[in-house]
Chains A and B, each alone.
Chain A
Amino acid sequence: DQQVKQNSPSLSVQEGRISILNCDYTNSMFDYFLWYKKYPAEGPTFLISISSIKDKNEDGRFTVFLNKSAKHLSLHIVPSQPGDSAVYFCAAPNAGGTSYGKLTFGQGTILTVHP
């Protein structure tokens, strides 16, 4: 049961334009979401998060939007830069639990930003 889904395996964007990465979830108990970025041969790095009490969180060029009724979140990168080319994962912590380290990850979206 894939509780967190990223339906777009890849996304190609021109430098300077907006990148929009999407994520859907099925478990209504999820109340916190995170985005991670992963470069080849490296571990994922935390990018940005959002609590379910908010519908938007911004950090520099990165903004995450949460639509609870649609069980959908998106990551916007504006403007996109070639260095943003990486795999992006959305994730949600163990619903209703006290775990600090158990995340359910989406399958990832490969973002390529062309100069």
Chain B
Amino acid sequence: KAGVTQTPRYLIKTRGQQVTLSCSPISGHRSVSWYQQTPGQGLQFLFEYFSETQRNKGNFPGRFSGRQFSNSRSEMNVSTLELGDSALYLCASSEIIQGKLFFGSGTQLSVL
């Protein structure tokens, strides 16, 4: 099976802009989660989607949003970008096995 695919791999934006990141999960996986990784905060949970419904949301402002499509593909959006949003954004998919996530390689977002 193909792994989790995230696009784009790298992204450079300026403050105030918005960005959309895309994730294609492993075929058959219905759960998709998003994480933010920064040097200071480590890996922080953003949100999780299962069958097009948001099941959980982490402690992030409303500028961070996401959605999942009927084919399980997911997108996350960050509006009004701030410098502190510079991070590696990781998508993960899973079967119904708690915690065993398969991660993509991530999208490295730089906000200038």
A95 nearest CB across to chain B (Å): 11
CB-contacts of B7-45 with A (<8 A): 31-33, 35, 42-45
- Chain B residues positioned under 8 Å from A91 (CB to CB): 43, 99
- Chain B residues positioned under 8 Å from A97 (CB to CB): 56
- Chain B residues positioned under 8 Å from A42 (CB to CB): 105-106
Give the interface segment out of A21-29, A43-51, A64-72, A73-81: A43-51
Instruction: Tell me how many residues of B have a C-beta within 8 Å of chain A.
Output: 30
- Chain A residues positioned under 8 Å from B104 (CB to CB): 43
Kindly state the separation between the CA atoms of A16 and B111 in the bound complex, as whole angstroms: 42
Most chain A CB inside 10 Å of its own CB: which residue of B32, B50, B93, B101:
B101
Closest residue of chain A to B90 (Cβ to Cβ) is A43
Q: Does A32 contact B (CB under 8 A)?
A: yes
Kindly state the separation between the CA atoms of A107 and B100 in the bound complex, as whole angstroms: 18
Kindly state the separation between the CA atoms of A99 and B98 in the bound complex, as whole angstroms: 7
Q: Does B81 contact A (CB under 8 A)?
A: no
Contact residues of A with B, CB < 8 Å?
32, 34, 41-46, 49, 89, 91-94, 97-108
